Amino acid sequence: MEVIRAWFRQHLSDPQVIGLAAVLLTGFAIIYIAGNMLAPVLASVIIAYLLEGMVVYLVRLGLPRFLSVLIVFSGFMAFVVFLIFGLMPLLSRQTTQLIQQLPVMIGRGQDLLMTLPERYPQVFSVEQVRDLIADIRAETVALGQQVVSLSLASVVGIITWIVYLFLVPLMVFFFMKDSKRIIGWMTGFLPKDRKLLADVWHDVDDQIGNYVRGKFVEIIIVWIVTYVTFAILGLQFSLLLGVIVGLSVLIPYIGAIAVTIPVAIVAYFQWGFNADFAWVLAAYGVIQVLDGNVLVPLLFSEVVNLHPVAIIVAILIFGGLWGFWGIFFAIPLATLVQAVLKAWPKADQIKPPDVPVAAD
């Protein structure tokens, strides 16, 4: 107990440390407890934060802030309209076509599995392959049931998304327009002596803002290049696969490996093991190599200086806490943790509390 008390006296005796810890704990508690309810607000805050960089750039060019906000917000709404009315119908059509072809793919896959005992009798037996096929059928039935349950609940989901489509852009506009007023109101609840908190925020702002904007550009580039490449090679569902490959860059290392499976499956069931199949996988490999060795260093440089082990651990921890959104923001959250650890006063930097001296 004395060791714990000494640690608390050493590290939590500084009011700035206590203020930083209180802000972090409050923020994580709000997101963890009320994250679902506040999802539109959090999404609006994040979008407005990402768009703020373009607003500041236009202001530096001499435009009034309100006009800059209108220009950036109009561009954002045009992009949203393109996603909803231009991209989503095409993705929906290709997804439907892929689902319709799944029974044929599963049947051909079963035939391929049944040839394994003949080719490799020392490794696979007929019973093992039949058990594997039975497991695949069971998983397919379970997946179909989940799709049906989602379709039954889609009415509520559609209504929710319609509300979000009106609510989120409205809040994004007001967060951008009144950002200084909102930030001033929020800082009024923080302690006056907040140098440590300001240091953490400046470090996180520099890294996370550039990282998320760079990651958005990376997604668009990888998506377009993959789609064009697959379309030229004649691969089916090239748009859908291009979007999946583009989004896979959100999960470093793991995403590229995971997306290889659907690309290889679609190519195999379209052509089999031939030259076209090899060309698709080779092109996909070249895209991944160029992304990792050319595009990422060009976009990010030293923006996020995290060890690969730290990135994987962050994905596992935050993904386990918040699912997809935890994976999406794993690296920004890991950057926040790194900034806190970097700014946290070391033992030799903390002044010991004044201890009254007893009178003789």
Note the pLDDT tens digit of each residue in 225-271. Answer: 999 999 999 988 898 899 999 888 877 777 788 888 888 888 888 88
Residue 131 belongs to some domain of the structure: no
Q: With contact defined as beta carbons under 8 Å apart, do 340 and 199 qualify? A: no
Domain of residue 278: give its range.
194-346
Q: Is a pLDDT exceeding 80 seen at residue 82?
A: yes
Taken in order 5, 9, 15, 19, the sign of the CA dihedral is negative
pLDDT confidence of residue 346? 59
Cβ count within 10 A of residue 166: 9
Least confident of 152-156, 207-211, 270-274, 303-307: 152-156
Other CB atoms within a 10 A radius of the CB of residue 254 amount to 16
Dist. CA 131–CA 114, nearest whole Å: 11
pLDDT confidence of residue 18: 67
Specify if 325 maps to a domain: yes
pLDDT in tens, 272-295: 888 888 999 999 999 988 887 777
Q: Considering the domain boundaries, does residue 104 fall inside one?
A: no
In this model, does residue 57 exceed pLDDT 70?
yes
Query: Is residue 104 very low, low, confident or very high in pLDDT (cuts 50, 70, 90)?
Result: confident
pLDDT of 150 over the 70 cut = no
Domain assignment present for 302? yes
Integer-rounded Cα Rg, in Å, for the chain is 26
293 domain residue, yes or no: yes
Mean pLDDT of 62-75: 90
d(CA 100, CA 104): 8
- The confidence score (pLDDT) of residue 49 equals 81
Three-state DSSP at 253 gives coil
The answer to whether residue 285 sits within a structural domain is yes
> Model pTM greater than 0.75?
no
Tell me how many domains the chain contains. 1
Task: Look at 26 and 74; give whichever has higher pLDDT.
Answer: 74
* Residue 210 within any structural domain of the chain: yes
The answer to whether 318 and 336 are in contact (CB under 8 A) is: no
pLDDT given for residue 360 in this prediction: 45
Please report whether residue 187 resides in a domain. Answer: no
Instruction: For helices 275-290 and 195-233, give the axis angle rounded to 10 degrees.
Output: 160
What is the predicted pLDDT for the residue at 250?
78
